[in-house]
Amino acid sequence: MNEPKCVRSTLTRLVCGTSPRRTLVRCLVLVVVCLVVFKFLFLPVRVHGGSMLPAYSSRGINFVNRLAYRRAQPRRGDVVAIWPRESSRRVVLMKRVVGLPGETVGFRDGRVVVDGVPLNEPYVRYASDWNLEPVRCGPDEYFVVGDNRSMPMDGHWFGRAKAQLIAGRMVL
């Protein structure tokens, strides 16, 4: 392929800039920064399923702030990312914190009851008929559940989650 020299140099300049070495260094720095940001700071996750409807739709991409709970504890109403098992860090579940350490949490006629008082949950749009005897969260446990409670209880992952399995707080 014999291209004229001016076309080849213009193409090279468009791809590599005036200094190919500096462009390579910039690319390497960009790759390292992206690896650090998306490995340690913001974990990208794809939502599968409808357990968090309507706040988070299925197949959406969101980010988990991995540093959100380094100096603070999760609060009631926070949407968090949880590893369901300590052995597997590939699957991440998105749930809302409804119970804090030391609290007793249950369901009565579809409403979350914390220490005997029904919880006000403006983010829950779909009614449910869930009933669950109250369970006490341990000193390092949070009670988490999805927003879409119209699903049957057996099709939903919810309950107590240890603090060390909380990956972080959802950003978007």
* H helix or E strand, kind and range, residue 92: none
Q: CA 8, 12, 17, 21: dihedral to nearest 10 degrees?
A: -130
Task: Exactly one of 5, 95, 128, 162 is catalytic; name it.
Answer: 95
Distance CA 129, CA 150 (A): 8
57 is catalytic: no
For 170, residues 6+ apart whose C-beta sits below 8 A from its C-beta are: 56, 62, 63, 64, 65, 79, 80, 81, 94
- Please indicate whether residue 162 is annotated as part of the active site: no
SS3 111: strand
- Catalytic residue, chosen from 19, 51, 57, 88, is 51
Q: What crossing angle do the helices spanning 20-36 and 5-16 adopt, rounded to 10°?
A: 30
**Whose CA is closest to 145, among 87, 86, 90, 76?**
76
As a whole number of angstroms, the distance between CA 104 and CA 90 comes to 30
Active site residues: 51, 95
